[in-house]
């Protein structure tokens, strides 16, 4: 089954007078109204429960070595390409435009993102751009101020907050609407999903690797699908709650090596929300960021070009101006030592966390810039000065 995240489709959009939530008007200051109660969508909640139960069954089959070795490799291959379809494709290419890609690379990334089963690239990007524009407020589809469960998976089990629906209409999607490949995938998504995310992953081990249909279905679809989903969801949950903020302590997202490891480089989230237009989604690329290495490899092959990144000078200025003091080079020992962790292997510990209170997320109704346009302008001015000098 395809992931149903209760997203607002084009047919769901109504004129303001026909809104299902007539009492909600978008205020000039957008934060989190903790008195608002989200309504559970029971078919989604029950569906996710069943999916997770079948995924656990698939994991048990793997753990008891009840499948062929080749099926393990096939499952791993599917996990890798589908994760990169989301990380490099939906996220860094289509949502943030951090680099440009040839039609061939775009086609493969759209295919791999389809295997991931996280809805079409168009809908994924609309949600993600809304998340950045109104991060950690009621305008954020997976508002982390609602707690770990909500921002991890609960948001997919509840009706969207009225702000998410109304503010979602403001998100500029003209660039993707002008891309015929993206719109083709959107139009035929469920057919493509069935073929590339369900049929082929299950059929290959069944017909060619000597695997039983039951094992193929439970391992190559259910386990693979849910494991990859939860890895992506950790970027919305753990990477907004547990870690440090060396680049901007006024932003809720944090740096998490553990999430970066599982998501191929998406856990350096405080940096990413500070510089969302950087193709690396991190300052450094040697630490759990294979996606950045792949993008550079695609560049060498001529498949990717116009890679955007923040200069070391820009990053340093931001660290000094707004960081929480935990930066590896420009921070200080006092703030680094104030970070806590459960157990040893510190700071290589998933519980490595800042002790100060998380920042309040209250934004103007226009939200945050999606690409930090002012920073890009500042960077270009700096480059011109260097050339002129």
Quote the tokens at residue 335.
Answer: 């703030």
Q: Quote the pLDDT of residue 371.
A: 63
The answer to whether the CB of 223 falls within 8 A of the CB of 59 is yes
In which residue are the tokens 């680099």 written? 99
Place of tokens 């709650």: 241
What pairs with residue 305 in β-bridges? Answer: 100
User: 266 — alpha (psi -120 to 50), left (phi > 0) or beta?
Assistant: alpha
Task: Report whether 74 contacts 204 (CB < 8 A).
Answer: yes
pTM: 0.88
CA distance 267 to 280: 11
Domain coordinates in residue numbering, the chain? 39-388
Task: Give CA–CA dist 55/229, Å, rounded.
Answer: 11
Which of helix, strand or coil describes residue 304?
strand
Confidence at residue 368, expressed as pLDDT on a 0 to 100 scale: 78
Nearest to 176 by CA among 235, 139, 118, 124: 124
Q: How far is the C-alpha of 196 from the C-alpha of 220, rounded, in Å?
A: 12
Give the angle subtended at the CA of 136 by the CAs of 96 and 189, to the nearest 5°: 45
* Whole-number Å distance between alpha carbons of 270 and 250: 10
Contact 372, 277 (CB under 8 A): yes
Exposed (0-12), middle (13-18) or buried (19+): which is 52, by Cβ within 10 Å? middle
The pLDDT, as a whole number, for residue 334 is 93
- Most distant CA pair in the chain: distance in Å? 69
Q: Is 5 helix (H, G, I), strand (E, B) or coil?
A: coil
Distance CA 88, CA 277 (A): 13
Rounded CA-CA distance 59/77 in Å is 16
pLDDT at 29: 85
Q: What pLDDT is attached to residue 362? A: 86
In this prediction, residue 6 carries a pLDDT of 38
* pLDDT tens series, the chain, 389 aa: 344 443 333 333 333 333 445 456 666 788 999 999 999 999 999 999 999 999 999 999 999 999 999 999 999 999 999 999 999 999 999 999 999 999 999 999 999 999 999 999 999 999 999 999 999 999 999 999 999 999 999 999 999 999 999 999 989 999 999 999 999 999 999 999 999 999 999 999 999 999 999 999 999 999 999 999 999 999 999 999 999 999 999 999 999 999 999 999 999 999 999 999 999 999 988 889 999 999 999 999 999 999 999 999 999 999 999 999 999 999 999 999 889 988 877 777 888 899 999 999 888 777 777 665 444 445 454 455 545 54
Question: What's phi and psi for 343, nearest 5 deg?
Answer: 85, -160
pLDDT for res 23 = 52
């Amino acid at each position: 089954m395809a992931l149903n995240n209760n997203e607002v489709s084009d047919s769901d959009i109504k004129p303001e007078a026909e809104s299902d939530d007539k009492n909600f008007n978008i205020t000039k200051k957008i934060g989190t109204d903790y008195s608002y109660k989200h309504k559970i969508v029971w078919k989604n909640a029950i569906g996710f429960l069943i999916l997770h139960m079948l995924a656990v069954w698939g994991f048990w089959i793997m753990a008891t070595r009840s499948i062929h070795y080749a099926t393990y490799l096939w499952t791993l291959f599917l996990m890798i390409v589908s994760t990169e379809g989301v990380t490099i494709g939906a996220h860094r290419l289509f949502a943030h435009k951090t680099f440009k890609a040839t039609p061939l690379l775009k086609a493969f990334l759209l295919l791999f993102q389809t295997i991931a089963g996280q809805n079409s690239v168009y809908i994924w990007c609309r949600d993600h751009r809304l998340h950045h524009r109104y991060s950690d407020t009621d305008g954020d589809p997976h508002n982390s101020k609602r707690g770990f469960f909500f921002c991890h998976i609960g948001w997919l089990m509840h009706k969207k907050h009225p702000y998410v629906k109304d503010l979602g209409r403001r998100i500029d999607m003209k660039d993707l609407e002008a891309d015929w490949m993206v719109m083709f995938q959107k139009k035929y998504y469920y057919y493509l999903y069935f073929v590339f995310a369900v049929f082929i992953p299950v059929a290959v081990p069944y017909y060619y690797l000597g695997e039983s249909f039951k094992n193929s279905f439970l391992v190559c679809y259910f386990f693979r699908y849910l494991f990859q989903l939860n890895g992506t969801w950790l970027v919305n949950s753990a990477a907004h709650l547990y870690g440090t903020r060396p680049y901007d302590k006024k932003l809720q997202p944090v740096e998490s090596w553990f999430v970066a490891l599982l998501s191929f480089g998406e856990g350096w989230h405080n940096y990413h929300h500070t510089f969302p237009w950087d193709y690396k989604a991190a300052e450094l690329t040697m630490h759990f960021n294979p996606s950045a290495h792949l993008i550079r490899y695609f560049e060498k092959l001529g498949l990717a070009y116009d890679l955007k990144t923040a200069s070391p000078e820009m990053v340093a200025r931001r660290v000094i101006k707004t960081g929480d003091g935990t930066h590896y080079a420009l921070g200080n020992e006092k703030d680094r030592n104030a970070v806590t962790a459960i157990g040893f292997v510190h700071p290589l510990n998933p519980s490595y966390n800042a002790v100060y209170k998380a920042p309040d997320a209250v934004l103007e109704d226009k939200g945050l810039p999606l690409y930090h346009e002012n920073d890009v302008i500042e960077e270009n001015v700096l480059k011109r000065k260097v050339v002129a000098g």
